[in-house]
Amino acid sequence: MSLIETRGNRLAAMFLAPTAVVLLLVVAYPFFYNVGMSFTNWNMFHFRDPSFNGLTNYVKLFRETDFWHIFSKTLLWTAVNLVFHVTLGVGAALLLNRKLPGRPLYRALLILPWAMPQYISALTWRGMFNLEYGAVNLWLGKLGLAAVPWLSGEWTAFAAASITNIWLGFPFIMVVTLGGLQSIPEELYEAARIDGAGAVRRFFSITLPSLKPVLMPAIVLGTIWTFNNLNVMWLVTKQGEPADKSHILVTFVYKAAFTYYRYGYAAAFSVFIFLTLFLIVKLYQRTEATEVH
Amino acid sequence: MRRRFFSKAWEHVWVHALVWAFVLFAVYPVLQIVNISLRPGDQLYSTDLGLIPDGASFDAYRIILFEKPFPTWIRNSLIVSLSTALIGVSLASLAGYAFSRFRFKARGVALQGILVTQMFPATMLLLPLYMIMRRLQLVDTMLGVVIAYAATALPFCIWTMKGYYDTIPADLEEAALIDGCSPLKAFLKITLPLSAPALVITGLFSFMTGWSEFIVARVLLPSAELHTLPLGLESLASTYQTEWANYAAGSVLVCIPVVVLFLALSRFLVSGLTLGGVKG
């Protein structure tokens, strides 16, 4: 036990108290309130007199016609986005880590998507995916390709939302990776070079393993943020167009709660989303832990 | 020798080509907003791909600055975001330190709990939050949203602070304690100043939370005179088609301060963002 610890236990309690108060009041209490709500029939018709209805909402949720479709789509959405975030983010970081003239400028420009408020980016990309006037189709036309009706098909809309989200998410991984790269000692590479290891080999046996401690938490966070990203899917597809086909779990429940006022049902759905995500993160941490041993 | 030279030159070419591909991807949508904001009213639907539209005008900027309640939105957003940043930095710098330096009983559970809060979908807390704020009579007050935003930003900020403190050896504080410093003083005089990069990042993130959020704001700030920038801009986007240029001009104005902040602080961004593991 360190000296600071033996002498400062009261200090630790004092340091944690304000945070604990805020988080208990604004996060923990609403969470349990929501769990309670999920067992009631609270909706438009029972706004003033909700009553306990057991697991009805949970049963209803699994009976939702599109439930498994939306569920798998959310997993796909998370996987696709994360793969691109990591490959583009790490790729950009490797490029910026070279001795490049104008490096600070490039770095600043590549961080731009992260600096923009998400709702502005999402609406801008929505405009760019417009069939006739959107920049994406205009450029496709210039290249002699046919215009894609991005926002009127289920999977083209999915692609449009994914491109938007990949755009705004890769700089985070890039910045985290840049930090990680700077902490790898140059001697490691020197030694590998002397041993005759090529660039690819050096990447896989030095760079990637050294980046793992910084990348793993970033990937976990990225997974959580993407899985629950309400802004992008909701705004790019204009609340789930075409015909409510463009939903991931969180936009679906947002619509249930605030367009259709099915509060109890939405609460149950939210609990389900949370539990799913919780399981996914647990799985991540499990594999990470077993790999270490 | 000559082959070596060519392979070097070739590498130079492809590295730059790749970097520029990234830059184009990152910057193009931003140029698009600028372009739309400069379009005169009769050219909102245009198939022109030029960077600056024909007959570019600053009309939209004039309208948004002088004919809309834009200054009010900016003022509200500044109050909300700066307060959020202040609370976020103070609370996270304290809590992060406790997590980094002390091994108390509920530490592991609390750290996991902080990660878990990130997993709550927005829909989960929104309605209960509204109920609580109504009971506390904080609906339609800035204080209400500031508390909500601070709570949203805190987990990530605590994580960042903890991760950064972990990289600072405790020996420095130990030495100060042996010299007769109190633990509080050791923290304030030694560790805190060394953590400047992480403090900057924490501040930036909390500020951004307040600056760009609109789902919670829409629920907690119904009155127009308390609207923050996102709510104000949203009101422009949802009315008439003709407001597109105004919306774009507003967006550009909203982005400028955060972009400037990000660019000015991008140096700290790389050094300050040490996401420690949850367990460690």
pLDDT tens digits, A115-168: 888 989 998 999 899 888 888 999 999 899 998 999 888 999 999 999 999 999
The lowest-confidence range among A68-82, A232-246, B67-81 is: A232-246
In B, which residues are within 8 Å of A137 by CB distance? none
Neighboring chain A residues of B208 at a CB cutoff of 8 Å: 117
The total number of structural domains in chain A stands at: 2
Query: Quick check: is A14 in a domain?
Result: yes
pLDDT, tens digit, 9 for 90 and up, residues B5-63: 677 788 888 889 999 999 999 999 999 989 888 988 766 677 777 778 877 888 889 98
Nearest Cα residue in chain B from A121: B29
Cis peptide before B183 (omega within 30 of 0): no
User: Is the same domain home to A6 and A135?
Assistant: no
Alpha-carbon gap, residue A151 to A238, rounded angstroms = 9
- B76 against A98, higher pLDDT: B76
Q: What is the pTM of this model?
A: 0.89
Buried b (16+ CB within 10 A) or exposed e, B41-65: eebbebeeeeeebeebeebbbebbe
Is the confidence at residue A259, as pLDDT, over 70?
A: yes
Q: Could B273 and A263 be called an inter-chain contact, meaning their C-beta atoms sit closer than 8 Å?
A: no
> What pLDDT, on a 0 to 100 scale, did the predictor assign at position A22?
92
User: Is residue A111 in some structural domain?
Assistant: yes
Q: Please check whether residue A86 is in contact with residue A174, taking contact to mean a CB–CB distance below 8 angstroms.
A: no
A35 assigned to some structural domain: no
DSSP letters, B235-248, are HHHHS-GGGHHHHH
**pLDDT at residue number B241:** 58
Helices and strands (DSSP H and E) totals, chain A = 15, 0
The reply to whether residue B47 touches residue A138, judged by beta carbons under 8 angstroms, is yes
Residue A209 and residue A68 share a domain: yes
Answer yes or no: is pLDDT of B94 > 60. Answer: yes
Amino acid type, B108:
G
Residue A281 within a domain: yes
pLDDT above 60 for B1: no
**Distance from C-alpha of B257 to C-alpha of B204, rounded to nearest angstrom:** 11
A129 & A9 share domain: no
Q: What is the pLDDT of residue B275?
A: 62
**Of the candidate ranges A20-34, A162-176, A263-277, B5-19, the one whose mean pLDDT is the lowest:** B5-19
User: For residue B123, which residues of chain A lie inside 8 Å, CB to CB?
Assistant: 230, 250, 253-254, 257, 266, 269-270, 273
The domain in which residue A139 lies consists of: 43-292
Q: What is the pLDDT of residue B43?
A: 65
* Helical H segments across A64-117, by residue range: 67-96, 103-115
CA-to-CA distance for A154 and B29, rounded, in angstroms?
23
- Interatomic CA distance for residues A285 and A267, integer angstroms: 27
In the structure encoding, which two tokens stand for residue B262, read together? Answer: 């990000």
**Which of B12, B123, B241 would best serve as a mutation to test chain A binding (most A beta carbons within 10 A)?**
B123
User: Which of B47, B118, B211 shows the shortest C-beta gap to A224?
Assistant: B118
Mutant choice from A7, A114, A120 vs B, greatest count of B C-beta within 10 A: A120
DSSP-based three-state secondary structure for B1: coil
Which helix H or strand E contains B99, and what residues bound it?
Answer: helix B70-101
B95 neighbourhood in chain A, CB within 8 Å: 15-16, 18-19
Q: Who's near A231: CB < 8 A, 6+ residues apart?
A: A118, A119, A122, B215
Quote the longest CA-to-CA distance of chain A.
Answer: 76
Do B96 and B191 contact (CB within 8 A), yes or no? no
A215 and A172 in a common domain: yes
The amino acid at residue B20 is W
A116 and A249 share a domain? yes
Token pair in block for residue A264? 């109890």
The number of angstroms, rounded, from the C-alpha of B52 to the middle of its chain's C-alpha atoms is: 29
Alpha-carbon span A165 to A227, nearest angstrom: 11
Same domain, A133 and A15: no
In a domain, A217, yes or no: yes
In a shared domain, residues A102 and A72:
yes
* Domain-located, residue A89: yes
Q: What is the C-alpha separation between A104 and A210, in angstroms, rounded?
A: 24
Residue of B nearest to A123 (CA): B237
> Which tokens belong to B103?
């091994």
ipTM of this complex prediction, to 2 decimal places: 0.88
Distance CA A171, CA A107 (A): 9
Residues A61 and A5 in one domain: no
Q: Chain A residue closest to B88 (CA)?
A: A19
The dihedral formed by the CA atoms of B208, B214, B218 and B223, expressed in degrees to the nearest 10: 60
Give the separation between CA A140 and CA A148, rounded to whole angstroms.
Answer: 8
Considering the domain B69-272 in this protein, what is its CATH number? 1.10.3720.10
A208 and A76 co-located in one domain = yes
CB of A141 within 8 A of CB of A132?
Answer: no
Given A12, A119, A285, which is nearest B98 (Cβ)?
Answer: A12
- Does A212 have pLDDT greater than 80? yes
Kindly provide the residue ranges of all beta strands, DSSP E only, lying in A142-266, ordered along the sequence. none
pLDDT tens string B122-140:
888 888 898 889 999 999 9
Do both A22 and A63 map to the same domain?
no
Alpha carbon distances (Å) from B55 to A220, A221, B248, B252: 48, 45, 17, 19
**Are B197 and B268 within 8 A, CB to CB?**
yes
Same-domain pairing of A142 and A23 = no
The more confidently predicted of residues A8 and A148 is A148
* Mean pLDDT of the A3-14 span: 77
How sure is the predictor about B246, in pLDDT bands with cuts at 50, 70 and 90?
confident
Q: Within this chain, do residues A135 and A9 fall inside the same structural domain, yes or no? A: no
The sign of the CA dihedral A114, B111, B91, B165 is: negative
